[in-house]
Amino acid sequence: MSLTQDQIIRFLRSVHPYDALPPEVLADIAVRAETRICAAAEAIYRFGEALPGLFVIHDGSVDVVDENGAVVSHLGLRNSFGERGLLRDGKAATSATATAETTLLMLPAKLIADLQRDHAGVARFFNRARQDRAPRNDLATSPIETLMARDPATCAPDLPVQHAARLMRDRRISSLCVVEDGLLRGIVTIRDLSGKVVGEDLPGTTPVADVMTAEPLTLPPSAIGSDVLHMMMEHRIGHVPITEAGRLAGIVTQTDLTRFQAVSSAELVTALARADTAEEMATVTAEIPRLLVQLVAGGNRHDVVTRLITDIADTATRRLLALAEAELGPPPVPYLWLACGSQGRQEQAGVSDQDNCLMLDDSATEADLVYFAALAKIVCDGLNTCGYVYCPGEMMATNPRWCQPVRVWRGYFAGWIAKPNPEAQMLASVMFDLRPIGGDFDLFRDIQAETLRAASANSIFVAHMVSNALKHSVPLGLFRGLATIRSGEHRDTVDMKHNGVVPVVDLGRLHALRAQLTPVNTRARLDAAERSGALSPSGARDLRDAYDLIADSRLEHQAAQVKAGVAPDNFLSPSRLSDFERSHLRDAFVVIKTMQSAIGHGKGMLG
């Protein structure tokens, strides 16, 4: 039995993003929507069919499978499917089957297009990759929570002014927020103490309430940087408490604004290039978390953020190489320092260890190796001091295995390709992400081209690399949600690195290998794969969109941790996300799983 228009309207009021639409728009949707009743095991649509629009489950359940029959989602009440993000060239990239008697609401494609055109909230919902998110002016348009100091120092109204002065002196701050019964009552600053207490010769026992600014100007957490700037300029104040329902959430001072503006990748690169010791450099790299927060708050996409952060690591590496040469003397033969892993791909985020190696000119002797072992130790120790901790797998130039002449490196790659055992697969995956950092770049150019040619021509090696690329599964749960870690320190979270970013990194590397593409950065690899024809335009678009959403979400999680005073990690709790965010994150994982399945069945991603 078809749903009535009243039933459709009531239902849509419980489904995002339609719940925010005005009554007249919901009434129009109810007129244009279609009801479809499906029996258990009935096919809703099949792979390759053109879809009439978007399906929303009113009741019942649906399984969505890829072209190879692998289940990518179990869906239920209020879940939607069939949206454009899961289509290839206008055709369905999945099949959907009712697993119980199911009532579906079908919203025609024209209706969805009209809603996106006329309602920004709906457009944002369907713009999963946020490709139109433009970087904003860093300070003026940054959210207030990015600027403010959390947990500001507070005192009671009856605190003697002498005690207040000592507290500000000891904590090296310029103000105290006066709080009573959990509510902000006023603010006392150093200017108040000097002008009102010292200037008027008040006793040290005078309560703070007598000299504070009562009911100070405040802003809510929803404010942006320009609100603070304008308030400070108009009222000639240097402190703005941030409150919500009268309760103190933070404070922004002129010092906070100055500090915020002072952090930029260019400033950090300049400071690193002038540092004389690893310890001096460490004071610079300690600013990276705050830079991460600023870049994310500024609306920059993940590949811009990670590129800027990686540039800092590159500069630190080159400066340490220069300091090592100054200490040890000129190198006896040409050498090249290379980074692999996230630094090699220019994808460093808030959590990074070091992965590096040395290639030496073939004229290097055993005696020369002693020099380069010392150079490697200085650089790797210095990177560790700067916060790029030692690689737990010893994938570093301090390991003699990874400090060798070019001829030995050629032998390594040839051996891994000829005998792709598990260790060879792992090492090849790491070493295909090599990027020169400092030294003689000519030592690497021929090796990269030779290795790509040999690897792509060896079908057995490619097959093993395909298998290796499928080892990291995406965290899709059986019933609509996300599969979280079940036990241990990170219970009930999703590993956004190994189960989110890494699967796309693996797919990008695989396509670069197959098509002999030289880019190392993952997004650049996907772009190059599309240009070369290794990826269809729709396959590349879907994978890029999914990657962008996941990588952006990972960085936003890390930035939020930094702001909260917590060391950043890769473990995101889905419970902290809105239904909107969880829905799109799940869709992104579905795209990746579909791509993995296609690769695993030897069908590629050509659409």
Q: What pLDDT, in 10s, does the model give residues 85-120?
A: 344 455 677 788 998 899 999 998 888 888 888 886
402 by DSSP, 3-state: which? helix
Confidence of residue 324 (pLDDT cuts 50, 70, 90): very high
pLDDT band at 52 (very low <50, low <70, confident <90, very high): confident
Q: Phi then psi for 59, rounded to 5 degrees? A: -160, 160
Dist. CA 434–CA 420, nearest whole Å: 19
Contacts of 214 (CB under 8 A, 6+ apart): 185, 186
Residue 500, domain member (yes or no) = yes
Residue 266, burial from CB neighbour count under 10 angstroms (0-12, 13-18, 19+): exposed
Q: Does residue 133 register a pLDDT over 90? A: no
Same domain as 336, residue 225 = no
By the 8 A CB rule, do 221 and 563 touch? no
Are 348 and 442 in the same domain?
yes
Residue 400 resides in a domain: yes
Q: Which CATH number is 237's domain given?
A: 3.10.580.10
pLDDT at 71 (0 to 100): 64
pLDDT band at 138 (very low <50, low <70, confident <90, very high): low
301/371 same-domain check: yes
Between CA 271 and CA 285 the distance in angstroms is 10
How many angstroms separate the CA atoms of 338 and 433, rounded? 10
Q: Are residues 341 and 388 in the same domain?
A: yes
Q: What is the pTM of this model?
A: 0.68
Give the sheet arrangement for strand 62-66, strand by strand: 43-45, 94-98, 62-66, 71-75
| pLDDT above 70 (res 480) | no
Helices 23-32 and 5-12: angle between axes, nearest 10 degrees: 120
* Phi/psi at 562 (5° precision): -60, -45
Q: Determine the pLDDT at residue 605.
A: 44
pLDDT of 503 > 90? The answer is yes
* Of 85-89, 143-147, 155-159, 402-406, the least confident: 85-89
Cα–Cα distance, 570 to 536 (Å, whole number): 31
Are residues 386 and 280 both part of a single domain? Answer: yes
CA dist 367 and 36 (Å) reads: 78
- Per residue in 547-574, pLDDT (tens digit) is 999 999 999 999 999 988 899 999 999 9
- Show the tokens assigned to 104: 């579906």
Domain identity same for 182 and 269: no
Length of the chain (residues): 607
Among 36, 56, 14, which residue's Cα sits nearest to residue 101?
36
For residue 239, the model assigns a pLDDT of: 94
CA–CA gap between residue 530 and residue 60 (Å, rounded): 39
Residue 138 lies in a domain: no
**Together in a domain, 371 and 448:** yes
| pLDDT tens string 398-411 | 999 999 999 999 99
Q: Domain ends where: 193, 223, 254?
A: 254
Evaluate if residue 607 carries a pLDDT over 50.
no
Q: What is the mean pLDDT of the chain?
A: 87
Highest mean pLDDT among 348-352, 467-471, 508-512, 598-602: 508-512
Measure Cα distances from 218 to 107, 140, 183 in Å.
45, 17, 12
| 240/213 Cα distance (integer angstroms) | 12
**Low-confidence winner among 15-24, 131-140, 202-211, 480-489 (lowest mean pLDDT):** 131-140
With respect to residue 567, please indicate whether it lies within any of the assigned structural domains: yes
Task: Judge if 350 and 237 occupy the same domain.
Answer: no
CA distance 536 to 495: 29
Phi, psi of 480 (to 5 degrees): 70, -30
> Do 350 and 370 form a contact (C-beta atoms < 8 A)?
no
CB atoms within 10 A of CB 462: 17
- Check pLDDT > 60 for residue 581: yes
With a cut of 70, say whether residue 137 has pLDDT above it.
no
Tell me if 460 is assigned to some domain: no
The CATH number of residue 571's host domain is 1.20.120
Max mean pLDDT range (65-69, 84-88, 260-264, 365-369): 365-369
Has residue 383 been placed in a domain?
A: yes
- The residue segments making up the domain with residue 568 are 470-600
For residues 102 and 62, state if they share a domain. Answer: yes
Report CA-CA distances (Å) from 499 to 25, 58, 231, 469, 597. Answer: 39, 31, 45, 12, 15
> How many separate domains does the chain show?
4
**Higher-scoring residue by pLDDT: 274, 377:** 377
Same domain, 215 and 174: yes
Which of 254, 273, 299 marks a domain boundary? 254
Average pLDDT over residues 582-606: 80
Measure the CA–CA gap between 525 and 204, rounded to whole angstroms: 67
For the segment 446-461, what is each residue's pLDDT rounded down to a tens digit? 888 888 899 999 999 9
How large is the average pLDDT for residues 47-76? 78
The sign of the torsion formed by the CA atoms of 112, 118, 121, 125 equals: positive
- What lies within 8 Å, CB to CB, of 513 at 6+ separation is 432, 452, 455, 456, 462, 465
CA 457, 459, 460 angle in degrees (round to 5)? 130
pLDDT surpasses 60 at 131: no
State what percent of residues in the chain have pLDDT above 70.
91
d(CA 403, CA 396): 8
CB 461 within 8 A of CB 420: yes
Residues 513-531 pLDDT 10s: 889 988 899 999 999 999 9
Degrees to nearest 5, angle at CA 546 with 543 and 548: 105
More confident residue, 156 or 68: 156
CATH number of 81's domain: 2.60.120.10
Looking at the domain assignment, is residue 426 inside a domain?
yes
* pLDDT higher at 345 or 19: 345
Q: What is the pLDDT of residues 215-251, one digit of tens each?
A: 999 998 878 887 888 888 878 899 999 998 889 999 9
pLDDT digits (tens, 9 = 90+) for 196-215: 999 999 999 999 999 999 99
Question: Is 122 within 8 Å of 116 (Cβ atoms)?
Answer: yes
Q: Which of 221, 236, 254 is the last residue of a domain?
A: 254
Asked if the model's pLDDT at residue 299 lies above 90, the reply is: no
Say if residue 272 is in the same domain as residue 247: no
Q: Is residue 464 part of a domain?
A: no
pLDDT value, residue 578: 81
Does 282 lie in the same domain as 163?
Answer: no
